[in-house]
Each structure stands twice: as C-alpha cells, then as structure tokens.
A and B are shown apart, each in its own frame.
Chain A
Amino acid sequence: MTAKRSVALTVGLLLLSVGSRLAGSAQTAIPDEFQVRAAIIANLARFVSWAPPKGNVHTPMIVGLLGSDQQSAALEAYLSSHTIDGRAFQVRKLERSDRTDDCQIVYVSPSEKQHFEEIADSRSWNGVLTISDDRTFALTGGIVGLPVVGDRIEIQINLFRAQQNGLLISSRLLGLARVIRKADTR
C-alpha cells in the first residue's frame, strides 16, 4: 500500500521529463530533488480547486515563498519558465509579517517551519495551499508535505486542513498521496 501513497520519482525518469525542460535554462542539466519537487508543486495546482475561485484563468497564479533556501530558488526558477493549463505563475517572496491570503500557494521553507507553526492558527489561510518539504509539515498545520521517503518523494496531504482552508483536492491526487484526515497532531 505504500506504493500507492508515494510518488515514484526517480532521478533517471526526471532526466526525461523535467530535465529536458530545464536544459535550456542556465541551471544544471541534471535534475535534482529540488527540481523534481518544484515540478510536483507546479502540477499539484492542477488537482486543486479554490472555493471561492481566486483570480481567473487569465490572471497569473500567485505563489508565495516563505523563507529562502535551495528549494525555493529551484521553485522560483521552475515556475518562471512554466505554465499550468495556460496559466502563468507569479512568484512573490514573503516576509514573516506579509499577508498570505492573496496567494494561491505558499511554499514554506524548512527554516521557516517553526515560525509557520506559530502563525498557522493566528491568521487567515483561507484559500491558500500551503506546501513544504518538511517531514511533519502535513501533521503540524500545513496541507501538503513533500518529504523524501526512501528513494521517492512522498505526497502527504492533510485533508482536514485543506477543507478548513476551503480547498477541494481531486480524488485522483488523493489516490496517489498519503492522506491525513485528522486535525494537527501537535
């Protein structure tokens, strides 16, 4: 059953799918974990519906980056050169005090996880898909966690939090993910 709950993404495969897309950019041609995760984050948006809808198909999707590290840099590079279903991304670097409720997606760096846990309940996250690569993110107030398990990146989804934030997540995605249905376990 773990196979169903994890995404089998090997480096060799990404050489074909993601690496080819990045080959044109200035970055390294060999896709690493960060680029794979960036591709996953971009594709996650295709399986999530915002209710009420934020923006429309003609406006860019706003992605907030909380904290700065290698992953956020890779994500920024990936999103700037990709669109999802004809919709572009607009990356916004956030400070701790910045508003987050006008973003569709907020990526939380592991370094900011502590801070996120503090602000998770204190402000409105309505309509925001929170994502981090931290192993416990989905259990501690976040919605999507993308930790490395074994040789794969596992998709963890906290369905309770997603519903709380007014997000509908496609059952197709849930079929691949490890789903957490309860509230935080902090």
Chain B
Amino acid sequence: MKGKLLHRQPIRTRLIVLSTVVAGCALLLASMAFWAYESVLYLQTLERESSTIAQMLADNSVAALTFDDRAAATEIANTLRAEPRVIKACFFGATGTVLATYRKGGDVEQCPPISLENSTHLTVHHLLVFHPVTLNRDTIGSVYLQIDLAEMYVMWMRYGAISALVLCMATLFAMGLSSKLQKMISDPILHLANIASQVSGSGHYSLRAVKTYDDETGQLIDQFNDMMEKINERDTSLKRAQDELETRVQERTQSLVSEIAERKSVEQSLVNAKIAAEAANTAKSGFLANMSHELRTPLNAILGYGEMLEEDARSAGNTSAATDLQRLLFAGHHLLDLVNDVLDISKIEAGALHLHSQRVHSDEITKEVAATVEPLAHKNGNRFELKIGASEFINVDV
C-alpha cells in the first residue's frame, strides 16, 4: 500500500524519502548495535562486580558462619546498604540454615534453597549470585545476592530516549540535506519531462532539452534530442507523403466517378432495350393469339359445311366424293389443331395457359396418339407398330 503510495509521488519526494529512510535505517541499526554492546558490557560488569561483592562478603563472614554468629552475620549483611543495586542477600550455614538476611527497604522474604556452587543466574529483573564461603578449602556456607536490574532498564530507557531524539534530528537533517542534494538528479529529469510534455502537448518537434551534467541524465538528454531530431525529420517526410497521397486519392476518385456515370448510362440503355424487346414479344404474342382466334372462325364454318356435304354425299351414295370430303375434313381438323397449338404457344408466352388435370386410361390416349401418328408414318412409307404392355390410369391434360 505504502509502495503504491510512493509510486504516485513525484521523483523529488521519492528521492528525499529514499535518502531519509536510508539514513534513518543506518542510524537505527547503529543505535541497536551500540545498545546491544552497551547492554552486554553492562551485564558483564555487573556480573563481575557482583561476584566481587559476594567474594568480599564471603571472606568477611567466614568467622561469623563458623561460629554460627547471627548478629555478626547480620551486621556484615547490613553493610550492603552502601550498594543500592543489591536488593536482597542471604547468608547460609553449611547445612543450609539461613543465618542472616538483608533486604533493601526492610521486609525479609524467603531465601532460596542453598547452592554451594559459585554461580550467577540472570532473570528478567534480577541477577542471582551464589558464592560459597570457604575456610581452608572447606566449604562452610554460602552467600546469596539478588541484584536489581532496574538500573539497566533505566539506562535502556534513557538510551532509548536519547536514541529517538538523535534519530529524529538526524532524520530531519538528512531530509533537509537530501531536499537540497536531490536537485542534482531530479532537475535534469524534470527538465526533460517538462520538454517531453511540451512536445506531446504542442506537437512542436523542434523543441530541445538543455544538458546540465555529463552523467546518465546528460546522455539521456542527448539521446532525447537526437530522437527528437529524427522524429522531426520523419514528421516532415510523413507530411509530404500525406499531401501526395491526398492528391492521388482525389485524382483516383475523380476517375472513378466518371467511370461509374458511364456504366450507369450503359445500364440504362440496356434496360430500355430490354423493355423494347419485351414489348415486341408481347406484341408478337398478341398478334399470334388474335390471328389464331380470327383463323378459327372461318375454319369452323369450313368444317361445319364439309361435314354437311360429306353426310349428303354418303347418303347419296357418292363414295368417291365422300372420301374426298373426308380427306378435306381431316385436313381441316389438322389445321384447327395447328391453329389451337399456335394459340397455346401464345398463351404459354402470355403466361395464360392453364392445365386441366384429368384421369384417363393409358390405352385410350395411346390409341389416339397412334391414330394421329400412323397416317404420318404411312405417308412417308414407314411402318408403324404399336406394342402396349400393362395398361393403367394416368393423369394428363386433355
């Protein structure tokens, strides 16, 4: 979170924070090292001094412990008043009996179990010292001292307060100094950034940054200027190319427009031709329909009178005339069929032909077709044969 916050800060702030944090951390580490050294030294000294005190007490109390003299032992113990760090002392006889105790401030507490070893033990609040009392290499008792570590903690507090003060002052000093010195680094960069933003804002690629130092920022400014030079050149050539391109596009557009107009006129003439053709076709169909319709009227009259004449000839027994008349009728019917066919064609073209589907037996239609085709075949000297398989009903237009 803090890193992100720092990311948004300007480079001046970041440089100041960097210098300050580095200086602060270095000082903090140094303070901690010094504090640790002081603490170890203090504890070593305290241990040594405590051992000396215990040794002196042990030497002084030899006779008192030998003769179990409580009063003398108490008097020796009370000399500890001169040493405020000792808050408790116990004098033990050889069997562990407590002969005398000393307690800074009065109240006597319980003494710990006797230890005849020469030992020091460090707890959170106290340094505990056991020192044996010997007479002619014979251990006759022990002295126990409880040394208060409050002094050390007071020293720690004082040291902490001074360290904090020095740390604050040094950090402020580092901040002030770095806010002056950071300009060496930030000024060229800020100048460069300013020029770059001007360029991007205005588009004037002719702007140039001024080089102040011969370091990496100087190199950066040189390269920036170099880059600007190239961009400027490219920009110019690009503009030129763009102008040319525009002209070419305009020319091309012009030619395309004229081409399109040409095509449109051709299209229009084609459409006109098509309309004309369609009109001609319709006229032709109309003509055919009218013509065939008009042709049928006289043909019906010819056929009607032909049939009457044929009946008359047959009844008069004039077979040769009847046969001729029959041929006349046959040709007339054939002509009627042709006229109907023409009418059908004109109907098909006019889209007016309607098919009337009807169910007929295939034999019937085959016989009709055979009757039509056989004379034609015979006429040209051909032989006509009809072979019919299984006959059935089919749907046809009559």
Residues of A contacting B68 in the complex (Cβ-Cβ under 8 angstroms): 7-9, 13-14, 17
In chain A, residues 134-174, which have Cβ atoms closer than 8 Å to a Cβ of chain B?
Answer: 155, 170, 172-173
B47-94 contacts to A, CB under 8 A, are 59-60, 62-64, 66-72, 75, 93-94
User: Across the interface, which residues of A come within 8 angstroms of B202, CB to CB?
Assistant: none
> Do A46 and B135 contact each other (CB < 8 Å), given the known contacts A3-B75, A173-B63, A175-B63?
yes
User: Is B368 an interface residue when CB atoms closer than 8 A count as contact?
Assistant: no
Q: Is the CB of A9 within 8 A of B69?
A: yes
Contact B72 A170 (CB under 8 A): no
* Residues 39-74 (chain A) with a chain B CB within 8 angstroms: 40, 43, 46-47
Question: Which residues of chain B are within 8 angstroms of A16 by Cβ–Cβ distance?
Answer: 93, 95, 97
| Chain B residues whose CB sits within 8 angstroms of the CB of A13 once the complex forms | 68, 70, 97
Given contacts A13-B97, A16-B95, contact A7 B136 (CB under 8 A): no
- CB of B138 within 8 A of chain A? yes
Question: Is there an interface contact between A175 and B97, defined as CB atoms closer than 8 Å?
Answer: no
Task: Decide: B95 and A85 in contact? CB cutoff 8 A.
Answer: no
Whether, in the assembled complex, A20 has its beta carbon less than 8 Å from a beta carbon of chain B, the answer is: yes
Residue of A nearest to B97 (CB): A16
Bound complex: CA of A47 vs CA of B69, how far in Å? 15
C-alpha gap A6/B63 in the complex (Å): 12
Task: Give the complex CA separation of A16 and B93 in angstroms.
Answer: 10
> Of B63, B75, B94, B137, which is within 8 A of A170 by CB?
B63
Q: Give Cα distance in the complex from A176 to B99, angstroms.
A: 15
Interfacial residues of chain B within 23-64, with CB under 8 A of chain A in the complex: 59-60, 62-64
Residue of B whose beta carbon sits closest to that of A173: B63
Q: How far is the CB of B76 from chain A (nearest CB, A)?
A: 9
What CA separation (Å) do A8 and B93 show in the bound complex?
14
Does A4 reach chain B (CB closer than 8 Å)?
yes
The distance in angstroms between the C-alpha atoms of A20 and B94, with both chains bound, is: 12
Q: Shortest Cβ distance from B98 into chain A, in angstroms?
A: 11
Report the nearest B residue to A155, measured CB to CB. B67
Instruction: Answer whether A8 and B136 are a contact pair too, CB < 8 Å, given A17-B95, A176-B63.
Output: no
Given A4-B71, A40-B67, A172 contacting B62 (CB threshold 8 A):
yes
Q: What is the bound-complex CA distance between A175 and B69, given in angstroms?
A: 11
Indicate if the CB atoms of A176 and B97 lie closer than 8 Å.
Answer: no
Main secondary structure on chain A at its contact with chain B? helix
| Closest B residue to A177 using CB positions | B63
B67, B75, B138: the one contacting A9 at CB < 8 Å is B67
Chain B: which residue is nearest A153 at the CB level? B67
Q: Name, among B59, B62, B68, B97, the residue most crowded by chain A CB atoms within 10 Å (CB to CB).
A: B68
Report how far A13 CA is from B94 CA in the complex, Å.
Answer: 13
Residues of B within 8 A of A155 (CB): 67
How far is it, in angstroms, between the C-alpha of A4 and the C-alpha of B73 when the chains are bound? 9
Q: Is the CB of A46 within 8 A of B136?
A: yes
CB-CB under 8 A from A175, the residues of chain B are 60, 63-64, 72
Chain B 124-157 interface 0/1 with A at a Cβ cutoff of 8 Å (1 = within): 0000000000011110000000000000000000
> Which residues of the other chain, A, contact B67 by a CB distance below 8 angstroms?
7, 9, 40, 43, 155, 176
B138 lies within 8 A of A85 (CB): yes
Q: Which residues of B contact A170 (CB under 8 A)?
A: 63
* Bound-complex Cα distance A24 to B138 (A): 23
- A85 adjacent to B69 (CB under 8 Å): no
B61 to chain A, nearest CB (A): 9
What 1/0 flags go to B276-306 for Cβ under 8 Å of A? 0000000000000000000000000000000
CB of B79 to closest CB in A, whole Å? 12
A155–B66 alpha-carbon span in the complex (Å): 13
Residue from the set A4, A14, A170 with the largest chain B CB neighbour count within 10 Å: A4
Across the interface, do A176 and B136 meet the contact criterion of CB distance under 8 Å? no
**Is A43 a contact partner of B66 (Cβ separation < 8 A)?**
yes
- Inside 8 A of A17's CB, which chain B residues have their CB? 68, 93-95, 97
Contact A3 B71 (CB under 8 A): yes
A75 to B161, CA, bound (A): 67
Return the chain B residue nearest A6 by Cβ.
Answer: B71
With A3-B75, A46-B135, A170-B63 as given contacts, are A176 and B69 in contact (CB-CB < 8 Å)? yes
Tell me which residues from 99 to 149 in chain A have a Cβ below 8 Å from any Cβ of chain B. Answer: none
CB-defined contacts of B97 to chain A, threshold 8 Å: 13, 16-17
B66 and A3 contact, CB distance less than 8 A:
no
Q: How far is the CA of A47 from the CA of B62 in the complex (A)?
A: 10
- How near does chain A come to B94, taking the closest CB pair, in angstroms? 8
Residues of chain B whose beta carbon lies under 8 Å from any beta carbon of chain A: 59-60, 62-64, 66-72, 75, 93-95, 97, 135-138
Closest 8 pairs between A and B when the two form their complex, measured CB to CB: A3-B71, A172-B63, A8-B71, A85-B136, A8-B70, A7-B67, A7-B69, A176-B63
What are 23 sample pairs from A and B whose C-beta atoms fall under 8 A apart?
Answer: A3-B71, A3-B72, A3-B75, A4-B75, A6-B71, A7-B69, A8-B70, A9-B68, A13-B70, A17-B93, A17-B95, A43-B67, A46-B135, A46-B136, A85-B135, A85-B136, A172-B60, A175-B60, A175-B63, A175-B64, A176-B64, A176-B67, A176-B69
Given A9-B69, A176-B67: 13 more A-B contacts, CB < 8 Å: A3-B75, A4-B72, A7-B72, A9-B67, A13-B70, A13-B97, A16-B97, A17-B94, A47-B63, A170-B63, A175-B60, A176-B63, A176-B69
